[in-house]
């Protein structure tokens, strides 16, 4: 079976304000093959999301010139739990509508300052007029529609806490976070709010040469014929799914934990591609019915490999 991709780019995004390098910052791992088809990896660390966005665009442009096909993975939620767009009274396909809403509301400056907490509060006001479903903010950002702590049990009970992919991951003993958590260890909410507008800009730049899975491809096994017309497939990933042992450079410098995670994830997807497992990973799990498939394709998305 032929490989689907020539390179694998995995990004650990960040919602941080301020410029910072090192652990728990924006890392990009790239796995590819040399002239003898041996797999090797490189990692990049940048201080801001703007630099990360440019880095990924430049990497993709470089691979496209060579005629390579690239798998690009980001570690934030591409979609929201079913019903979110309807709660916000947005028209059209939910995934597209949510992307447009966030692109219009999120302000993310070159120095990493952003308004993610204000946008979360606005979404709470529009959805429930209460400080939920989004929750968790530093004390300095807390306000009428966004509090520092999780809402009481039963609040916003009709708004799902998780997408179907998180529920499936939990069955596999993986503990992804809810998109509604904005602050605290492993919080994904703020990351998603700043990540989705970047994703839209990237897709606008790539145009017809790229597709985002599963929204633009369908939730199905992808073949070489599906990938052939494209230079990139963009997917949602969760690097913590893969074991990452921190390597040591020739100079004796140990990898950062986050650095090792993006490298290991890129290498893992390359090995899946070698074995043919990656092709099958694009398909729904056994037992997925038409309703779930429609929910995932049109609103929620899925974590590749769950």
The 8 Å CB, 24+ separation contacts for 174-179 are 174/238, 174/240, 174/241, 174/306, 176/238, 176/303, 179/77, 179/80, 179/81
How many Cβ atoms from other residues are within 10 Å of residue 11's Cβ? 28
Per-residue confidence (pLDDT) for residue 187, from 0 to 100: 92
The per-residue pLDDT for 248 is 83
Mean per-residue pLDDT pooled into runs of 10, the chain (306 residues): 92 95 96 88 97 97 95 98 97 98 98 97 97 94 94 82 94 86 92 98 95 98 94 96 86 92 98 96 96 98 97
Report the alpha-carbon distance of residue 169 to residue 163 in Å, rounded. Answer: 10
Kindly report the number of other CB atoms within 10 A of residue 172's CB atom: 11
pLDDT of residue 1: 62
Quote the pTM value. 0.96
């Amino acid at each position: 079976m032929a490989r689907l991709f020539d390179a694998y780019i995995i990004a650990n995004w960040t919602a941080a304000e301020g410029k910072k390098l090192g652990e728990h910052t924006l890392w990009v791992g790239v796995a590819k093959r040399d002239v003898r088809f041996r797999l090797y990896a490189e990692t990049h660390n940048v201080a801001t999301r703007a630099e990360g966005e440019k880095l990924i665009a430049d990497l993709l442009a470089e691979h496209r010139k060579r005629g390579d096909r690239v798998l690009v993975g980001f570690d934030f939620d591409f979609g929201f739990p079913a019903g979110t767009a309807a709660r916000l009274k947005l028209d059209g396909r939910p995934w597209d509508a949510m992307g447009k809403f966030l692109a219009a509301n999120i302000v993310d400056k070159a120095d990493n300052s952003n308004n993610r907490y204000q946008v979360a509060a606005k979404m709470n006001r529009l959805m429930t007029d209460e400080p939920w479903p989004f929750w968790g903010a530093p004390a300095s950002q807390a306000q009428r529609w966004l509090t520092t702590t999780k809402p009481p049990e039963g609040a916003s009970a009709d708004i799902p806490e998780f997408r179907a992919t998180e529920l499936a991951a939990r069955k596999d003993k993986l503990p992804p976070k809810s998109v509604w958590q904005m602050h605290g260890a492993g919080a994904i909410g703020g990351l998603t709010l700043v990540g989705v507008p970047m994703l839209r800009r990237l897709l606008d730049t790539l145009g017809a040469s790229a597709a985002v899975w599963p929204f633009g491809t369908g939730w199905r096994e992808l073949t070489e014929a599906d990938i052939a017309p494209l230079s990139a497939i963009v997917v949602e990933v969760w690097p913590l799914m893969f074991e990452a042992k921190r390597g040591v450079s020739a100079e004796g410098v140990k990898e950062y934990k986050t650095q090792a995670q993006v490298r290991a994830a890129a290498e893992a997807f390359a090995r899946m591609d070698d074995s043919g497992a990656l092709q099958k990973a694009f398909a729904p799990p056994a037992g997925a019915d038409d309703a779930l498939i429609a929910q995932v394709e049109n609103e929620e998305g899925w974590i590749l490999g769950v």
